[in-house]
Amino acid sequence: MSESKTQKLMEVSTKPASGFRDFLGLEAKKRSELISTIERTYESFGFEKIETPSLENIEVLLGSGGQDNEKLIFKILKRGEKLLEILEKGENQETDLADLGLRFDLTVPLCRLVAEYRDKIALPWKTFHIAPVWRAERAQRGRYREFLQCDVDIVGAGGIGAELEVIQAVVKAFANLGVNEIELHLNHRGIIEALADKFGFGEKKQAFAILLDKRDKLSAEKFESALNDLSGAKAPTELLEILGGKSKASDFEKLAPEAYKQIFEIEEALSRLSLGLKDVKFNPSLVRGMGYYTGMVFEVMHASEGLALGGGGRYDKLIGRFSKRDIPAVGFSLGFERLLLLLEKTKEASSGLRRIFIPVFDEKLRVAVLKLAAELRDHGIECDVYPDADKLKSQLKFASQKNYRWVLMAGEDEIQSREFKIKDFSTGEEESVAQGHLPNHFKRLFSLV
Amino acid sequence: MSESKTQKLMEVSTKPASGFRDFLGLEAKKRSELISTIERTYESFGFEKIETPSLENIEVLLGSGGQDNEKLIFKILKRGEKLLEILEKGENQETDLADLGLRFDLTVPLCRLVAEYRDKIALPWKTFHIAPVWRAERAQRGRYREFLQCDVDIVGAGGIGAELEVIQAVVKAFANLGVNEIELHLNHRGIIEALADKFGFGEKKQAFAILLDKRDKLSAEKFESALNDLSGAKAPTELLEILGGKSKASDFEKLAPEAYKQIFEIEEALSRLSLGLKDVKFNPSLVRGMGYYTGMVFEVMHASEGLALGGGGRYDKLIGRFSKRDIPAVGFSLGFERLLLLLEKTKEASSGLRRIFIPVFDEKLRVAVLKLAAELRDHGIECDVYPDADKLKSQLKFASQKNYRWVLMAGEDEIQSREFKIKDFSTGEEESVAQGHLPNHFKRLFSLV
């Protein structure tokens, strides 16, 4: 029946689609452990978990201030009669063909959610959201089309207490993940506005900000020439010096007093908080892409690797796009894939599997073995029973491929006598243990690993 | 800057797209807890976690034996020049417009993955996969377009040991979730083939199986009349009786000897395993939708609610679709959304939040409070600090909305004297505790909840 239906399609590639990834073995396990650590950290601060759909109505995603990312939305083809109708017309536009899109970040869905459940949510609201996002990037090494974001946000708090606590939570999450060499880079959108005004980009603020955001990706020459193009003249040396890092936040005390005050207060509070940050740096050219930021923006860098591990900022106007009134908000998005890259470099994958392997000597013993394994699991001991009828040799080969150290020998005699041999693969030694003592025996073995 | 960019789009609906859902508060927390429980259970059996991409090349999903589900694929519109080219041609077909699709189940991606990483995977391989799937169903109550599946599979084992262990793991997962009134329904595709042959549906096996699969959704009359239509004559009374439950597996000993043998052996082993199942029932009309099953099929029902909580079976030919050779496999997919529905009915959401609330009496104390909270978290105590500058009254209202029971009063005097007042909201009582004793004090309080 199934053969007639499932065609043999040998020409179908078994690779994941271009820009997408499969995870198995230790890699999948590691991803899972990191997610748990981040979740536990954010929960320990009282942040509440949310989930939103992968797909949003396309109008929610478009015009959300996601800038370039809006061009990268994976759009869902309309279905059924709606699609037929459009196809029959013939003169179809891209915009007519799709009604849904995969989210490109977690901030836009969060803002929609806050607007929708405004009555249910007590403000200020601390929340976190760990989920994949999708961007139709050109596939290239290290750039993926589906990747995990870990966002933490405080909604409804306008003071710098919100920035401080988001930063505290993020730095703690990194510490719990074993990442300690952290630098925090700070800026304020008010600084960028002031620079744009002072140096004559007032009419072209948006383009000025976008250019600053790309500064890291351009050579000094290319950046300067793009800046000249934008200003329509030679860009002032003073501006180039400021952007080149030759300025302190205090230089902006008069130019952007409110922005300066916030940066000053946050820097001062961070130094008292002793979070263990390697450095806190003011960086007047830090923009953080998204058009929706309105105040502080920040980025976390790994000090020695020079790798950006995530960033965020204040977006006081984005919720208002969906709602009758603006609600202030601050968030940070941790770059999960970058983090994994870093941890692969700095840490070896954990081995030392704390689980027992039980071969099945004879099929007629399988039920007894499955029962024994269930009893051990009830005592918190993880057991892997070999699931097929195979020679003992193949079963033990399987155990060694899976890096199991301890094998519980459960032959007919052992099951009868309720006295089992435990073999240690790493030493070749065997010892006999009575059934009733197995759980404690294994707990002791595991505690020594 | 952001205001000019993020348009106010009051006409954009803030509801999730039709058939999709948001989760927040206790509901999100509960989903997360259930997933952890399922993961821990499967890991305790030695099943390894995998992740596959949400999107697959459309060829992978089509013709995979997913039957009706293939019609429900959300397809991704092609992008950039590829799309323009097709749109310019004008005479576009649905199939030309899409290159990717959202997965409709987790079994098809698993089979692709096994074929791709065949060299890395030691067989037999025990694996699990917990992730959302998408189906463009007509939106209706209780039917969602994005929902979570929890699959557990054994790949590369041809004997009934694989079926037994998958069933054991699934029943244990339900038990760990607090669901104990479980019935297991069994059938074998060989029984359905034999029925089709015996009663003259040999040429229409596929249609016969599809009709049986729909039997539960049709009235007895409608089912009989559809069966008559398919056979081109009045359907034999004997067949109707068999399908109506008037038969035992042993009736098939001669008609489908191999299928009978497997059912018999599995029933016998299950009775010895004492999994605590309420009942194990042979059901000759159980098909389990997907066209890719080749042997045993099973379904788990909640005994008193009559709710199907998931199902699975053996699919020995599906991996071969992607690979040079067939690899046998057995899997079970747990219906996460049904499970939630059931647990909402039978259990109250857990309250008793084991977390401390700390208000901020004055902004100048914020850094001291954040440091105090960090110290408590380092001792494993979860703390929620109020993140904004607000009146104490608003802060305490917030704490009560979030159901916090204990409030740590950290005013200037307390911070100076390192002696804090703890207020119990449920009794109104206060007590003083020295800073060094706070962690143990809270641990004792939490242990009493």
Q: What is the pLDDT of residues B409-444, one digit of tens each?
A: 999 999 999 999 999 988 999 999 999 999 999 999
Report yes or no: B415 at the A interface, CB cutoff 8 Å.
no
Q: In chain B, what percentage of residues exceed pLDDT 90? A: 59
Domain membership flag for residue A15: no
User: Which chain A residues are Cβ-neighbours of B119 within 8 angstroms?
Assistant: none
Question: Measured between beta carbons, which residues in chain B are less than 8 angstroms from residue A17?
Answer: 53, 55-57, 100
Same domain as B263, residue B147:
yes
Instruction: Tell me: do A125 and A237 sit in the same domain.
Output: yes
What's the CA gap between B347 and A445, in Å, rounded? 38
Select the residue of A75, A120, A385 nearest B165 (Cβ to Cβ): A385
Which DSSP symbol is given to A15? Answer: S
| Candidates B6, B20, B32; nearest CB to A63 | B6
Nearest beta carbon to residue B291 from set A6, A9, A156: A6
The minimal CB distance from A366 to the residues B136, B164, B355 is found for: B164
Assess if residue A19 is contained within a domain: no
The rounded percent of chain B whose pLDDT value lies above 70 is 94
Q: How far is B224 from chain A (nearest CA, A)?
A: 23
Q: Which of B3, B22, B164 sits opposite A317 (nearest CB)?
A: B3
Helices marked H in B330-437: 336-346, 366-378, 392-401, 412-417
Closest by alpha carbon to A159, among B343, B394, B335?
B394
Do the Cβ atoms of A363 and B161 come within 8 Å?
Answer: yes
Sign of CA dihedral B273, B278, B281, B285: negative
| B301 & B436 share domain | no
Angstrom CA distances, B354 to A205, A280, B158, B381, stand at: 48, 34, 48, 8
> Where are the alpha helices (H) located in A91-157, listed in sequence order?
94-97, 107-116
Q: Select the more confidently predicted residue: B110 or A323.
A: B110
CA distance B9 to chain A (A): 6
- Sign of the Cα torsion A392, A396, A402, A405 reads positive
Q: What is the pLDDT of residue B295?
A: 95
Nearest residue in B to A319, CA atom: B8
Contact flag B1-A371 (C-beta cutoff 8 Å): no
CA distance A55 to A61: 10
Contacts of B4 in chain A (CB under 8 A): 205-206
Same domain, A292 and A425: no
Which residues in chain A touch residue B79, judged by CB atoms under 8 angstroms apart? 74, 136
Residues 6+ apart with CB under 8 A from A374: B168, B172, B273
**Sequence-distant (≥ 6) Cβ neighbours of residue A6 within 8 angstroms:** B63, B64, B65, B291, B292, B317, B318, B321
Domain assignment of residue B5, yes or no: no
Selected residue of A1, A61, A147 to mutate for chain B interface (largest B Cβ count, 10 A): A1
Same domain? A334 vs A389: no
Written as six digits, the tokens of A237 are: 């040396």
**pLDDT higher than threshold 60 for residue B9:** no
> Is B180 part of a structural domain of the chain?
yes
CB-based contact A120 B25, cutoff 8 Å: yes
In angstroms, the separation between the Cα of residue B94 and the nearest Cα of chain A is 8
Planar angle of CA B271, B273, B274, nearest 5 degrees: 70
CA distance B175 to B388: 43
For residue B370, give Cα distances in angstroms to A161, B85, B376: 9, 58, 10
CATH number of the CATH domain containing B129 = 3.30.930.10
CB B172 within 8 A of CB A377: yes
The whole-number pLDDT of residue A6 equals 46
Interface check for A130 against chain B (CB to CB < 8 A): the answer is: no
Among B346, B374, B406, the domain boundary falls at B346
Does residue B229 belong to any structural domain of this protein? yes
DSSP state letters, B391-415: -HHHHHHHHHHTT--EEEE--HHHH
DSSP class of B70: G
Whether the CB of B95 is below 8 Å from some CB of chain A: the reply is: no
Quickly state the pLDDT bin for B241 (edges 50, 70, 90): confident
- The angle, 0 to 180 degrees and rounded to 10, between the axes of the packed helices B438-447 and B366-378 is 60
- Give the separation between CA A172 and CA A164, rounded to whole angstroms: 12
pLDDT by 10s per residue, chain A, length 449: 344 344 455 568 899 999 999 999 888 989 999 999 999 999 999 999 999 999 999 999 987 666 678 889 999 999 888 888 888 776 667 778 899 999 999 999 999 999 999 988 989 999 999 999 999 988 777 789 999 999 999 999 999 999 999 999 999 999 999 998 899 999 999 999 999 999 988 888 888 988 888 888 888 899 999 999 988 888 888 888 888 878 888 999 999 999 999 999 999 999 998 899 999 999 998 988 777 899 999 999 998 888 899 999 999 999 998 888 899 999 999 989 889 888 876 554 444 578 899 999 999 999 999 999 999 989 989 889 999 989 999 999 989 888 889 999 999 999 999 999 999 988 999 999 999 999 999 999 888 77
Is B113 in Cβ contact with A46 (below 8 Å)? no
- The reply to whether B30 and B118 lie within a common domain is yes
How close, in Å, is residue B449 to chain A by CA atoms?
18
Query: Do A79 and A114 reside in the same domain of the chain?
Result: yes
Predicted pLDDT of residue B217: 83
Please name the helix (run of DSSP H) or strand (run of DSSP E) that holds residue A259, with its range, or none. Answer: helix A257-273
Please report the pLDDT score of residue A84 as a whole number: 83
CA distances from B314 to A149, A291, B326 (A): 36, 51, 13
> Does the CB of A202 have a partner CB in chain B at under 8 Å?
no
Q: Which residues of B touch A189 (CB under 8 A)?
A: 1-2
Task: Considering only the beta carbons, identify the residue of B112, B370, B389 that sits closest to A165.
Answer: B370
DSSP A67: G
Q: Is the pLDDT of residue B267 over 90?
A: yes
* Domain-embedded: residue B14: no
- Pick from B44, B102, B321: CB nearest A377: B44
Contact A259, A251 (CB under 8 A): no
Q: Measured between alpha carbons, how far is A43 from B32 in angstroms, rounded to an integer? A: 12
Those of residues 182-201 in A touching chain B at CB distance below 8 A are 189, 192-193
Distance CA B393, CA B390 (A): 8
CB contact B165 to A (< 8 Å)? yes
Name the least confident of A88-102, B151-165, B230-244, B372-386: A88-102
- Contact, B380 vs B356, CB < 8 A? no
Residue B292 with chain A: CB contacts under 8 Å: 2, 5-6
Report chain A residues whose CB lies below 8 A from the CB of B168: 370, 374
Helix (H) or strand (E) holding A146, with range, is: strand A146-155
Provide the CATH number for the domain around residue A361.
Answer: 3.40.50.800
Query: Are B417 and B328 in a shared domain?
Result: no
CA angle, B390 as apex, B388 and B396 as ends, to 5°? 100
- Cβ(B41)–Cβ(B176) below 8 Å: yes
Spatial distance between the Cα atoms of B405 and B387, rounded to a whole number of angstroms: 18
**Nearest-CA distance A223 → chain B (Å):** 22
Where does residue A47 rank: exposed (0-12), middle (13-18), buried (19+ CB within 10 A)?
Answer: buried
Partner residue opposite A146 with nearest CB, options B53, B117, B320: B53
CB atoms within 10 A of CB B172: 19
Chain B nearest C-alpha distance from A79 (Å): 8
Q: Are B6 and A292 in contact (CB under 8 A)?
A: yes
Q: What number is the average pLDDT over the span B230-239?
A: 86
Distances (CA, A) of A335 to A136, A152, A239, B356: 17, 12, 31, 29
B31 chain-A contacts, CB cut-off 8 A? 51
Per-residue pLDDT at A210: 86
* A375 in the same domain as A240: no
Comparing C-alpha atoms, which of B349, B312, B339 is closest to residue B175?
B339
Whether residues A95 and A221 fall in one domain: yes
Place of tokens 């029973």: A385
CB of A383 within 8 Å of a chain B CB? The answer is: yes
Sign of the torsion formed by the C-alpha atoms of B55, B56, B57 and B62: negative
Domain with A258 in it: 25-346
Length of chain A: 449
B59, B98, B146: residue with CB nearest A55: B146
Task: Let me know: does A53 contact B133? Beta carbons within 8 Å.
Answer: no
Q: How far apart are CA B234 and CA A217, in angstroms?
A: 75
Q: What does the alpha-carbon distance between residue B397 and residue B395 come to, in Å, rounded to a whole number?
A: 5
Tokens 């700390």 appear where?
A: B358
Cα separation, B387 vs A264, whole angstroms: 19
CB-CB neighbors (< 8 A) of A8 in chain B: 320-321
- From chain A, pick out residues whose CB is under 8 angstroms from the CB of B93: 87
**Test mutation, B5, B88, B319, chain A, max A CBs within 10 A:** B5
Distance CA A326, CA A320 (A): 4
Do residues A339 and A361 share a domain? no
What's the domain count of chain B? 2
- Which of B316, B346, B376 is a domain's end point? B346
Q: How do residues B173-188 score in pLDDT, each as one tens digit?
A: 999 999 988 999 999 9
Residue A148: closest CA among A335, A301, A307: A335
Name the DSSP class of B163. Answer: H
* Cα dihedral sign, A365-A366-A372-A376: positive
Phi and psi at residue A106, to the nearest 5°: -105, -5
Residues B59 and B98: their CA atoms lie apart, in Å, by 10
A298/B contact by beta carbon, under 8 A: no
What does the pLDDT read at residue B24? 94
Q: Are residues A329 and A388 in the same domain?
A: no
| The predicted structure's pLDDT at residue B67 | 67
Q: Among partner residues A5, A60, A292, which is closest to B12 by beta-carbon distance?
A: A60
Out of B313, B346, B379, a domain closes at B346
Smallest Cα distance from A11 to chain B, Å: 8
> What's the 3-state SS for A178-224?
CCCCEEEEEEEHHHHHHHHHHCCCHHHHHHHHHHHHCHHHCCHHHHH
- Output the pLDDT for position B61: 92
Q: How confident is the model at residue B147 (pLDDT cuts 50, 70, 90)?
A: very high
**Contacts for A294 with CB less than 8 Å, ≥ 6 apart:** A189, A314, A315, A316, A317, B1, B2
Give the H or E element holding residue B445. Answer: helix B438-447
Domain membership flag for residue A440: yes
Which residue of B lies nearest to A57 if distances are taken between CA atoms?
B17
Closest chain A residue to B397, measured at CA: A122
Contacts of A353 in chain B (CB under 8 A): none
Of B1, B17, B388, the CB nearest to A189: B1
- Residue in A336, A274, A271, A330 with CA at minimum distance from that of residue A308: A336
Is there a domain that residue B86 lies in?
Answer: no
Residues 24-83 of B with CB under 8 A from A: 24-25, 28-29, 31-32, 39, 43-46, 48-57, 59-60, 63-65, 67, 74-77, 79, 83
Q: Which of A4, A182, A78 is nearest to B206 (CA)?
A: A4
- In the three-class reduction of DSSP (H, G, I as helix; E, B as strand; rest coil), residue B214 is classed as coil
Compute φ and ψ for B365, nearest 5 degrees: -95, -5
